[in-house]
Amino acid sequence: MKKKNQFSRRKLLIMASSAMAVNPLIAVAGQNNTNIHVVKNPQCGCCNAWIKILTDQDFNVTTENSSGSLLTEFKIESGIPKDMMSCHTAKVGGYFIEGHVPVSDIRRVIAERPDALGLAVPAMPYGSPGMGPEEERDAYDVFIVRTDGSTEVFQHYPQGGIQV
């Protein structure tokens, strides 16, 4: 008389090999968190608002306080052109993220892996992440900074919260 729940050696090997094939996929699927390091002025409220947005979107954020010439020096060493500078600088996935760059653009640059140094939102446009309500935003551009220092628009955000 054969037991109903008896496993043959073949069934056991198939199950084990299936589990081994699926485990790495489960591990990758569970890695929604992305490590990002932000260098910022300790008194800057908009930097903290941007960091909260990143944290709320499952980024693992570490911060480092810096200001004045030390912060500017860090930006220059990171390859950020002077006309692209903003208040805070982050490093993620081998790229710099300068200023109030939206999470969707950070995720996009990490996924697409372009030959570039990073992304920048120069100055501090109203309505960009951490700078006020998106539905009242001013139009602004996210620029990609290429390895040769040239820049081009990576994503445009029109006035009033309608993304094109």
pLDDT of residue 12: 43
- Determine the average pLDDT of the residues in 20-41: 63
The residues that bridge with 40 in the sheet, in sequence order, are: 65
User: In the chain, what are the domains?
Assistant: 35-157 (3.40.30.10)
pLDDT of residue 77: 94
In order of 14, 99, 121, 136, 137, the CA distances from 125 in angstroms are 57, 10, 8, 11, 8
Instruction: Write the pLDDT tens digit of every residue in 43-69.
Output: 888 899 999 999 999 999 999 999 889
Task: Give this prediction's pTM.
Answer: 0.77
Instruction: Write the pLDDT tens digit of every residue in 88-114.
Output: 999 999 999 999 999 999 999 999 999
